[in-house]
Structure 1
Amino acid sequence: MKPLKSILTAALILVAAQTFAQTDKETTLRIVKDKTYTFVANTAIPMSNTDINKVLNMMPGAQGGGSINLTGSQYDVRITPDSVIAYLPYYGRAFNAPMNPSEGGIKFTSKDFTYKESKNKRGNYTIQINTKDTKQDNYNLTLSISTTGYASLTASSNNKQPIMFNGYLQEPKKKD
């Protein structure tokens, strides 16, 4: 009886997850194909050592396990065929820090970048974006996108330890 209850609970959770998906499959396929979408970050997961994770767990919004809740913030990465604009926080070890604290985080606009897209058997996408023209540091962004629009982004560079973000894809807002 107990295994049957577990299976039914898992099935209910999967159905609910599909029901509350961020985008439908056709929308996700279209915006990824058009290379015009926004990744909205909900959670930041620093990939740093245990000392930094201990400090991060004491911060407001920490969820334990080193993840930081970003829900309700305006952190995102906007991707169009001719530009990548990133506005993300950074938690971790930076090897070269900017002198101006307002220049911290992962904030850049790139017009010179490579964009490589691949799709697996299940229809999930992996997008590789490598910037070439950002001021102090070039970034390698790896975006893993599910068919329902949920995504994870890993950002790495030469001057910072990698960091991962979980979130979702959003269609660009239509101009009136």
Structure 2
Amino acid sequence: MKTLFHTIFTVALLFFVTGCSSVYQATPEEVAALDKIARDQHFEIQAMWAQPMASQSLNSIANAGLLPPGSTASRIDIAGSRGYLRMVGDSVMADLPYFGERRMGGTYNPQQTGIKFEGVPKDFSLEPVTKGKGYVIKFNVNQGAEAYQVVAQLFPNRTARIAMSSSHRTNIWYQGNLAPYERKE
């Protein structure tokens, strides 16, 4: 099972890295701001788009007109959901909407259908990308019986991508905006 997760994340990361090459050139100020965010490990990614794995079920939902306007079965607008992945020091938190299928049995709580976790990640790594500017963050975290593997890419233009793999659900990807995290009192 662990080998399957590793293979899926390697393929997903390869697609992300090859798909992110563009003509955009980051300014020195943008690169310095990203370096500070990464160094401080005090940031938040506000999810704007969810990209679930395509399935017949999601296509049926899209064909029935049950997705938000402008969304497709493979790209869903979640800007109004307030979904986030947050890193504060050595802790990570997430509250992201989930679209996909459950792969393994488990308890079902209708009040908690999204991806939620909070804790200190295991196998954490933060490395600069090998080509271009940006950082790749990888970690594992457990929430109850469910385990998550997360790969997040941070870019100088204040955008980010998240690949989320779960022990109980199909994989999903998110795109969003990156900002330093400021605790709201």
TM-score using structure 2 length: 0.75
Structure 1: distance between partners of 2:77 and 2:119: 27
Q: Are the equivalent residues in 2 in contact too, given 1:129–1:141 (CA < 8 A)?
A: yes
Structure 2: distance between partners of 1:79 and 1:89: 18
Partner of 2:134: 124
Counterpart of 1:69 in structure 2: which amino acid?
A: D
Structure 2: distance between partners of 1:26 and 1:41: 23
Partner of 1:151: 160
Structure 1: distance between partners of 2:80 and 2:107: 26
How far apart are 1:170 and its partner, in Å?
A: 1.1
3-state DSSP of counterpart to 2:81: coil
How far apart are 1:175 and its partner, in Å?
A: 6.1
Equivalences for residues 29-44 of structure 1 within 5 A: 29-44=35-50
Equivalences for residues 1-176 of structure 1 within 5 A: 24-56=30-62, 58-62=65-69, 63-95=71-103, 96-119=105-128, 120-131=130-141, 133-173=142-182
3-state DSSP of counterpart to 2:178: strand
User: Cα RMSD (Å) of the superposition?
Assistant: 2.5
Moved more, 104-113 or 35-44: 104-113
How far apart are 1:56 and its partner, in Å?
A: 3.5
Q: Which runs of 5+ in 2 are unaligned?
A: 1-22
3-state DSSP of counterpart to 1:166: strand
Q: Which runs of 5+ in 1 are unaligned?
A: 1-13
Partner of 1:11: none
Q: Are the equivalent residues in 2 in contact too, given 1:98–1:104 (CA < 8 A)?
A: no
TM-score using structure 1 length: 0.78
Moved more, 94-103 or 149-158: 94-103
Aligned-residue sequence identity (percent) comes to 25
The structure with the larger Rg is 1
How far apart are 1:97 and its partner, in Å?
A: 4.8
3-state DSSP of counterpart to 1:64: coil
Structure 1: distance between partners of 2:109 and 2:184: 34
Q: Are the equivalent residues in 2 in contact too, given 1:44–1:67 (CA < 8 A)?
A: yes
Q: Are the equivalent residues in 1 in contact too, given 2:61–2:67 (CA < 8 A)?
A: no
Structure 2: distance between partners of 1:166 and 1:25: 19
Q: Aligned in 2, Cα 1:59/1:115: closer, same or farther, shift over 3 Å?
A: same
Q: Are the equivalent residues in 2 in contact too, given 1:38–1:171 (CA < 8 A)?
A: yes
Partner of 2:3: none
